[in-house]
Amino acid sequence: MDYQKLADMLFPKLKHDCQYYIDKYPKRDLPEKAEVLRIAPSPTGFIHLGNLYGALADERIAHQSEGVFFLRIEDTDSKRKVPGAVDAIISSFDYFQIYFDEGAHHQPHEGNYGPYYQKQRAEIYQTFAKRLVSEGKAYPCFCSGKQLTEKRKQQKSLNEATGYYGKWATCRNLSLEEVQTHLDNKEKFVIRMRSTGNIENQSTFHDEIKGDITVRENDQDIVIIKTDGIPTYHFAHVIDDTLMHTTIVLRGEEWLGTLPVHLELFKMLGFKLPKYAHTTVLMKIDETGTKRKLSKRKDPELSLDYYRQLGYHPYAVKLYLMTLLNWNFEQWHLKNPDTHLEEFKFSLDKMGQSGALFDLDKLNNISKTYLARFSLEEMKDFLKMYVSSQKKEEYEMYFDNEEYLDKILTLGMGLDLRKRRKDYIYGAQILESIDLFYHHNRVDDFNCDEETAKTLLEQFVETYDYGDDNSLWFEKVKELSANNGYASEMKAYRENPENYRGSVADVSEVIRIAVTGHKNSPDLWTIMQILGKEESINRINKTIKELD
RNA sequence: GGUCCGUUGGAGAAGUGGUUUAACUCACAUGCCUUUCACGCAUGCAUACACGGGUUCGAAUCCCGUACGGGCUACCA
């Protein structure tokens, strides 16, 4: 059989040979320990926490080792492509501050190993496929989809493994004449690799995360080039990660099953095998109470956009993912709350082996703990970023009067006060809270009837003096309480609650609502000091009026 | 069906033959603090090593089997 002739028949007009591409993408000039990793999403228009999880691991390992992290778009399946999806992917990674050294988003200077869209690399794959054909390691297959379905049916009824292999691989040994006839008939064909593996042969393979795993040899003549001339994932992966000099292939464990295919392809092409690291899948609890993989279709709330829209701080989300990624991260972070996560030594062998449940409670906790450490300036920067990224124009007015915004943030969140709040989880909540301060009358929430509230407020204003210090101020509130049948001492109230209408705490709450619009806030005296005499009294008077 | 991976309290997770009466974080509860809430501190809860055999003086840790969960089994990635 003249394989070279076969190869020329199938691929009559390719510009270059394999050597051309091998020379075009020389070994990267990097320090010895440097690792090269990539994330290779397909443009389906949906990326979720799982993608970010993987990207963060990639990014850390690459940059920690002074290596390279790049973005490749796996757009080999035209059916899956969604318009605008690539932009969405890039903008999401951008929001979460995952930075690439090279790749799809860096156009026009995307890097020296491009193109980074697989669609644009079609000719490269074909060139290598041609070489395999010329060496007798791959062959054209003219089977139609219908025929393949029929085969599968038969295999199932015979209780044999499905697929294109062994005696079922009917196109394996077509003669040149037969191929010529098919071509003359303008029949579509795919290129399949000619597997030499035996499914019975087992060996162990070292995965950087999973450890030693057992793999069987592949015996399937899988498709490497589809009828449209575009490669399948398997072939593209082997070619790209070789030419782009990826050193660690980090991907989801759903790829473990096809690892034997990739191993055989690497061997067949004579390429050096990269290291593999298969990460666990993020899970959630189903409505039915069972654990299951996060799904694009069923779990829209787990899309990255969900967190962006609510305004989770990107760094907080990363902190959470890091705790899932490396078990020792959390304790490191507790010890070093002010150290950036980039200082943490990330390692593959500290990754979990079983599917981690996504835990919103924990994310929220990490998120609010993180926000609670913010200074006034940091908080404003974050809110500005959030408001502009979400185009929430109705909130932009808050930034026009920074002095006022400062006051309100200080009041509401205890920023720059000793009593830091820790009950804000994400941006949307904070903006809501700011809104409450602007429209501060929540008379519905008073803990007493309106008549009483009004009386208390009127008496409070009469004796209020901006110059009073905290303790004098509070003495007055106590007096006010006592005059109206409220306990002025908490202890006394707790011992005999039936003797009073309430306690000084209840009186404080009435004033607090009148001043801030909130039932809860930091220390009231300080708030009124910050708001200023005039505005404090205005707010109370306004409330009194509304109670009439 | 075949094949691969996994299974430690409600959740994440450490521990890979003997200071383990199994860390730590979240959740939950209680107490202290306190003019509210939150914070902080302290305490507690949680009947946690999937099950059954085996190896061993000794097993969460090693071996075998079973169950359960998940992945793959496409001209999808």
| Digit-coded pLDDT (tens) for A120-143 | 999 999 999 999 999 999 999 999
User: Which nucleotide lies at the shortest CA–C1' distance from A231?
Assistant: B75
Domain A3-15+122-279, what architecture? 3-Layer(aba) Sandwich (3.40)
Indicate if the pLDDT at residue A112 is higher than 80. yes
* pLDDT at residue number A81: 79
* pLDDT at residue number A425: 92
Stretch among A29-38, A320-329, A368-377, A405-414 having the lowest mean pLDDT: A405-414
Query: A207 by DSSP, 3-state: which?
Result: strand
* pLDDT at residue number A10: 94
* pLDDT at residue number A444: 61
Q: Which chain B positions come under 7 Å from a protein C-beta?
A: 1-8, 10-14, 23-27, 35-40, 69-77
Mean pLDDT for the stretch of residues A518-545 = 86
* pLDDT at residue number A242: 97
Indicate if the pLDDT at residue A218 is higher than 90. yes
Higher local confidence (pLDDT), A287 or A325? A325
Give the rounded percent of residues in chain A with a pLDDT score beyond 70: 94
Contact A453, A480 (CB under 8 A): no
Q: How far is the CA of A66 from the C1' of B57 (A)?
A: 51
Q: How far is the CA of A362 from the C1' of B44 (A)?
A: 21
Mean pLDDT for the stretch of residues A227-236 = 95
Domain A443-547, what architecture? Orthogonal Bundle (1.10)
Indicate if the pLDDT at residue A305 is higher than 90. no
Indicate if the pLDDT at residue A441 is higher than 60. no
Q: How far is the CA of A169 from the C1' of B59 (A)?
A: 50
User: Which nucleotide lies at the shortest CA–C1' distance from A199?
Assistant: B3
Q: How far is the CA of A504 from the C1' of B35 (A)?
A: 6
* pLDDT at residue number A495: 73
* pLDDT at residue number A247: 96
User: Which nucleotide lies at the shortest CA–C1' distance from A143?
Assistant: B75
Tell me the C-alpha distance between A542 and A547, whole Å.
9
Give the rounded percent of residues in chain A with a pLDDT score beyond 90: 47
Mean pLDDT for the stretch of residues A220-236 = 95
Contacts 24+ apart (CB under 8 A), A539-546: A539/A440, A539/A514, A539/A515, A540/A457, A540/A460, A540/A461, A540/A511, A540/A514, A540/A515, A541/A461, A542/A441, A543/A440, A543/A441, A543/A443, A543/A457, A543/A513, A543/A514, A544/A454, A544/A457, A544/A458, A544/A461, A544/A514, A546/A441, A546/A443
| Digit-coded pLDDT (tens) for A442-454 | 656 777 777 888 8
Indicate if the pLDDT at residue A243 is higher than 80. yes
User: Which nucleotide lies at the shortest CA–C1' distance from A162?
Assistant: B73
Q: How far is the CA of A337 from the C1' of B37 (A)?
A: 25
User: pTM score, two decimals?
Assistant: 0.88
Helix (H) / strand (E) element for A237: namely helix A233-243
Provide the CB-side half-sphere exposure for A203 (13 A, CA): 11
Q: Which residue is nearest to nucleotide B23 (CA to C1')?
A: A331
* pLDDT at residue number A287: 52
Please state the domain extents for chain A. Answer: 3-15+122-279, 376-438, 443-547
Do A3-15+122-279 and A443-547 fold alike per CATH? no
Mean pLDDT for the stretch of residues A473-490 = 88
Indicate if the pLDDT at residue A343 is higher than 60. yes
Residue A285 binned pLDDT confidence (cut-offs 50, 70, 90):
low
* pLDDT at residue number A290: 56
**Among the listed residues A213, A365, A192, A323, the one whose alpha carbon sits nearest the alpha carbon of residue A278:** A213
Tell me the C-alpha distance between A546 and A548, whole Å.
5
Mean pLDDT for the stretch of residues A134-159 = 92
* pLDDT at residue number A179: 93
Q: Which residues of A127-146 are buried (b: 16+ CB within 10 A; e: fewer)?
A: bbbbbbbbeebbbbbbbeee
Strand intervals (E) in A258-417: 275-279, 283-285, 291-293
User: Which nucleotide lies at the shortest CA–C1' distance from A210?
Assistant: B5
Mean pLDDT for the stretch of residues A515-531 = 84
Mean pLDDT for the stretch of residues A405-433 = 80
Indicate if the pLDDT at residue A283 is higher than 70. no
Higher local confidence (pLDDT), A287 or A332? A332
Average pLDDT over chain A, rounded to an integer: 87
Q: How far is the CA of A203 from the C1' of B8 (A)?
A: 30
- DSSP classification of residue A458: H
Residue A249 binned pLDDT confidence (cut-offs 50, 70, 90):
very high
In angstroms, the first-to-last Cα distance of chain A is 101
Mean pLDDT for the stretch of residues A497-516 = 86
Mean pLDDT for the stretch of residues A287-300 = 57
Q: How far is the CA of A261 from the C1' of B72 (A)?
A: 12
Helix (H) / strand (E) element for A50: namely helix A49-64
* pLDDT at residue number A417: 61
* pLDDT at residue number A399: 82
Rg (CA), chain A: 33
